[in-house]
């Protein structure tokens, strides 16, 4: 699962992977290192005299191991990785990139946890925004605050501070982002038009969602107007997203007590109860998890659901849908939206030159418009999707520059996402102990969606008590 599905692999913990397959890509540029360590922590060959704020000296000889290199099955992505290594070596000819690839997925929960505990992570290792507490609990990541500045990451001031905040603890920076998402309302444009609705103006409030869902469900033929998850931790994940949209919180400011058993939490559940039972606009089949709603909307059996933009790529590439059949608007009511994403961290204890080389690579590959991950012209030529509104780390002039490049090289109708782009909603991170909390909150979602007589107050109070126990065991 991903790019469209990968971040959900650790979120829902539902996939068992094959053993990791180590692949080595030696950066081929005549003078590249053939391996080995790269000197002491002061950085042998570091012309800056070990100053962490200085960029890597191109003469420094460094070998970096990096995980989540694209697997051979993703031929275009792997080709781009190798091209980027060669391009990077034009500036840093003595840095050898040793890429590691894992078949199927990048990482999955048990393997990631075991890796941290064994201190066996590579020099540069892939994580999700929610992984920082676990990484720090295992003393696994280097504090890179002194290394990251506008000399080493020139577009630093234009990276969304909400994204960088997810990589910080007590003011210290522990990683650089590779991608991000903010949830919005994904719509089936065909069903909207069939129901007399404007797909370019998706519902802006939950009241409007309810009204639109009734009209879409009125088309008959088993079509649901709005869909929701209620199993495999995804129900709790989406309960969180809906609660955030109304200004609520899952836990209080101290992070020690549940905060959703209140009027806002009740509003979320009562609205779902009304759509499910009073309006009959959510379909008969419930206990759905990630992948189920995507199949429904891709086959014109669902009008809308909450999603991240890259769900669309999954539906096109894996389910045979067409980009032009989908659009997005911001999350309804829009006080805040659930945000997440991916990043790389740097192993604690490696040499200063290795840290600098890692930052130089990550900057080239993931935080430079027009290069690496953001080379949209190349992605279009390689048959990869271009034009989704996210991942998009950027603000200010960099955002305008990158938006223009996406539009120029788009492989899909970018105007379908204009409503989502025009009204950005502040992102809000997942709660602590997110997976354990989501498992509890699945019961709230499944309870109201499968039992017409469910006691909303009891569902919330029981869940709050259970979440309090989860938080007490932090």
Secondary structure of 415-437 in HEC code, one letter for each residue: HHHHHHHHCCCCEECCCCCHHHH
Say which residues have a Cβ less than 8 Å from residue 324's Cβ, sequence separation at least 6: 189, 412, 413, 416
Residue 388 · residue 180 · CB < 8 Å: no
How many whole angstroms separate alpha carbon 275 and alpha carbon 307? 19
pLDDT score, position 105: 52
Q: Out of 39-43, 118-122, 180-184, 317-321, which region has the weakest mean confidence (pLDDT)?
A: 39-43
Q: What angle do CA 214, 220, 455 make, to 5 degrees?
A: 50
* Model pTM score: 0.83
**Over 70: is that where the pLDDT of 7 sits?**
no
Q: Are strands 427-428 and 172-173 parallel, antiparallel or unpaired?
A: unpaired
Residues of the chain with pLDDT > 70, as a percent, come to 88
Residue 19 pairs in a beta bridge with none
How many CB atoms are closer than 10 A to CB 253?
Answer: 8
Q: Enumerate domains of the chain plus CATH numbers.
A: 6-181+341-408 (3.40.190.10), 184-336+427-472 (3.40.190.10)
Task: Output the CA–CA distances (angstroms, integers) from residue 142 to 135, 163, 172, in the order listed.
Answer: 10, 18, 10
**How many helices (H) and strands (E) are present in the chain, helices listed first?**
17, 12
How many whole angstroms separate alpha carbon 156 and alpha carbon 398? 10
Q: Out of 34-38, 145-149, 268-272, 334-338, which region has the weakest mean confidence (pLDDT)?
A: 34-38
Stronger pLDDT, 348 or 23, i.e. the higher one = 348
DSSP string over 269-284: HHHHHIIIIIS--S-S
Residues of the chain with pLDDT > 90, as a percent, come to 80
Question: pLDDT tens-digit profile of 123-172?
Answer: 999 998 889 989 999 999 999 999 999 999 999 999 999 899 999 999 99
Q: Are strands 184-188 and 302-307 parallel, antiparallel or unpaired?
A: antiparallel
pLDDT band at 240 (very low <50, low <70, confident <90, very high): very high
Stronger pLDDT, 150 or 8, i.e. the higher one = 150
* Cis ω before 64 (30° cut-off from 0): no
pLDDT score, position 101: 87
pLDDT score, position 13: 38
How many whole angstroms separate alpha carbon 233 and alpha carbon 99? 32
Average pLDDT over residues 59-78: 94
pLDDT band at 420 (very low <50, low <70, confident <90, very high): very high
**Over 70: is that where the pLDDT of 403 sits?**
yes
Question: pLDDT tens-digit profile of 44-56?
Answer: 333 344 899 999 9
How many whole angstroms separate alpha carbon 97 and alpha carbon 25? 6
**Over 70: is that where the pLDDT of 280 sits?**
yes
Q: Indicate the SS3 state at residue 442.
A: helix
Q: Are strands 175-182 and 302-307 parallel, antiparallel or unpaired?
A: unpaired
How many whole angstroms separate alpha carbon 213 and alpha carbon 203? 10
């Amino acid at each position: 699962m991903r790019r469209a599905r990968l971040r959900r692999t650790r979120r829902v913990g539902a996939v068992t992977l094959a053993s990791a397959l180590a692949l080595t890509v030696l950066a081929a540029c005549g003078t590249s290192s053939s391996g080995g360590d790269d000197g002491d922590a002061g950085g042998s060959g570091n012309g800056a005299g070990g100053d962490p704020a200085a960029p890597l000296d191109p003469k420094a000889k460094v070998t970096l191991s990096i995980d989540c290199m694209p697997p051979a099955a993703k031929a275009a992505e792997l080709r781009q990785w190798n091209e980027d290594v060669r391009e990077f070596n034009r500036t840093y000819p003595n840095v050898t990139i040793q890429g590691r690839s894992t078949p199927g997925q990048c990482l999955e929960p048990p393997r990631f946890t075991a890796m941290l505990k064994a201190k066996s992570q590579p020099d540069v290792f892939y994580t999700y925004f929610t992984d920082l507490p676990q990484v720090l609990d295992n003393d696994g990541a280097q504090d890179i605050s002194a290394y990251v500045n506008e000399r080493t990451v020139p577009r630093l001031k234009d990276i969304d501070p909400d994204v960088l905040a997810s990589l910080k603890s007590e003011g210290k920076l522990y990683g650089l982002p590779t991608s991000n998402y903010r949830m919005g309302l994904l719509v089936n444009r065909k069903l909207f038009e069939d129901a007399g609705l404007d797909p370019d103006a998706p519902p802006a409030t939950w009241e409007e969602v309810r009204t639109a869902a009734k009209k879409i469900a009125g088309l008959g033929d088993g079509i649901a107007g709005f869909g929701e998850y209620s199993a495999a931790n995804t129900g709790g994940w989406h309960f969180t997203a809906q609660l955030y949209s109304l200004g609520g919180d899952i836990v209080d400011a101290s992070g020690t007590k549940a905060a959703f058993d209140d009027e806002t939490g009740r509003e979320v559940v009562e609205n779902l109860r009304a759509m499910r039972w009073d309006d009959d606009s959510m379909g008969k089949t419930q206990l759905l998890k990630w992948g189920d709603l995507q199949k429904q909307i891709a086959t014109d059996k669902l009008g809308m659901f909450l999603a991240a933009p890259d769900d669309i790529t999954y539906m096109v590439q894996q389910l045979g849908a067409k980009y032009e059949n989908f659009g997005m608007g911001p999350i309804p009511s829009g006080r805040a939206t659930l945000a997440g994403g991916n990043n790389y961290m740097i192993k604690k204890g490696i040499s200063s030159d290795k840290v600098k080389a890692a930052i130089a690579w990550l900057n080239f590959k993931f935080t430079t418009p027009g290069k690496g991950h953001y080379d949209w012209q190349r992605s279009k030529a390689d048959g990869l999707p271009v034009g989704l509104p996210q991942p998009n780390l950027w603000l200010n002039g960099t955002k305008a520059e990158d938006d223009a490049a996406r539009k120029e090289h788009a492989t899909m109708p970018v105007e379908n996402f204009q409503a989502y782009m025009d009204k950005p909603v502040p992102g809000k991170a997942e709660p602590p102990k997110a997976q354990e909390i989501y498992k509890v909150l699945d019961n709230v979602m499944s309870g109201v969606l499968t039992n017409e007589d469910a006691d909303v107050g009891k569902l919330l109070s029981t869940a709050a008590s259970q979440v309090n126990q989860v938080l007490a065991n932090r």
